[in-house]
Chain A
Amino acid sequence: GDSVTQMEGPVTLSEEAFLTINCTYTATGYPSLFWYVQYPGEGLQLLLKATKADDKGSNKGFEATYRKETTSFHLEKGSVQVSDSAVYFCALSGGSQGNLIFGKGTKLSVKP
Chain B
Amino acid sequence: NAGVMQNPRHLVRRRGQEARLRCSPMKGHSHVYWYRQLPEEGLKFMVYLQKENIIDESGMPKERFSAEFPKEGPSILRIQQVVRGDSAAYFCASSPTREGTEAFFGQGTRLTVV
Which A residues have a C-beta under 8 Å from some C-beta of B?
30-32, 34, 36, 42-46, 49, 51, 89, 93-94, 97-105
B91 touches A99 (CB 8 A): no
A76 to chain B, nearest CB (A): 20
Q: What would be 16 A-B contacts, judged by CB atoms less than 8 Å apart?
A: A31-B100, A32-B102, A34-B102, A42-B108, A43-B4, A43-B6, A43-B105, A44-B91, A93-B99, A94-B98, A98-B48, A99-B48, A100-B102, A102-B42, A104-B41, A104-B42
Interface of A is mostly: loop
B102 touches A89 (CB 8 A): no
Count of B residues near A, CB < 8 Å?
25
A103 touches B42 (CB 8 A): yes
* In the bound complex, CA of A46 to CA of B104 (Å): 7
Q: In chain B, residues 68-108, which have Cβ atoms closer than 8 Å to a Cβ of chain A?
A: 91, 93, 98-108
User: A43-B107, A98-B56 in contact; A93/B42 too (CB < 8 A)?
Assistant: no
